């Protein structure tokens, strides 16, 4: 969970998830996903456009952006954990995208990558 002392009204951890970053409550939308649309280099969107696109109140999108602006460590940690898994399984290998095989991780390896 974020080390900031902010209490988020519309964001919470996703129940039963390996991800530690915050999600929109009662939705499967990571705050980082909304922030990514806002900060997109190719096609940045306004908070109003994002709210309309995801059928969310504007306040939810604004809170997600504010949360991500705090640079919470759990977002970076989730990303790094996902990168380690992809490297270990070979999923980041270009051949994997074109029908290549990837390695299945043992339960012990999966636990190790969750750390």
The domains of the chain are located at 11-71, 74-113
What is the pTM for the complete model shown?
Answer: 0.76
What pLDDT was estimated at residue 40?
Answer: 96
Q: Using a pLDDT cut of 90, give the percent of the chain over it.
A: 60
For residue range 21-76, list pLDDT tens digits in order.
999 999 999 999 999 999 999 999 999 999 999 999 999 999 999 999 999 999 99
What pLDDT was estimated at residue 114?
Answer: 63
Instruction: From residue 24, give the alpha-carbon distance in Å to each of 28, 46, 115.
Output: 7, 18, 24
Q: Identify whether the C-beta of residue 4 lies closer than 8 Å to the C-beta of residue 72.
A: yes
Instruction: From residue 40, give the alpha-carbon distance in Å to each of 32, 86, 94.
Output: 12, 23, 24
Mean model confidence pLDDT for the chain:
85
Tokens of 92: 């980041």
């Amino acid at each position: 969970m974020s080390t900031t002392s902010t209490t988020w009204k519309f964001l919470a951890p996703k129940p039963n998830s390996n991800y530690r970053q915050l999600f929109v409550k009662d939705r499967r939308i990571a705050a980082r996903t909304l922030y990514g649309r806002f900060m997109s280099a190719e096609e940045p969107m306004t908070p109003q456009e994002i709210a309309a696109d995801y059928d969310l109140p504007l306040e939810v999108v604004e809170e997600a952006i504010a949360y991500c602006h705090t640079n919470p460590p759990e977002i970076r940690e989730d990303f790094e954990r996902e990168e380690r898994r992809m490297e270990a399984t070979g999923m980041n290998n270009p051949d994997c995208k074109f029908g290549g095989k990837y390695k299945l991780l043992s339960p012990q390896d999966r636990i190790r990558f969750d750390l």
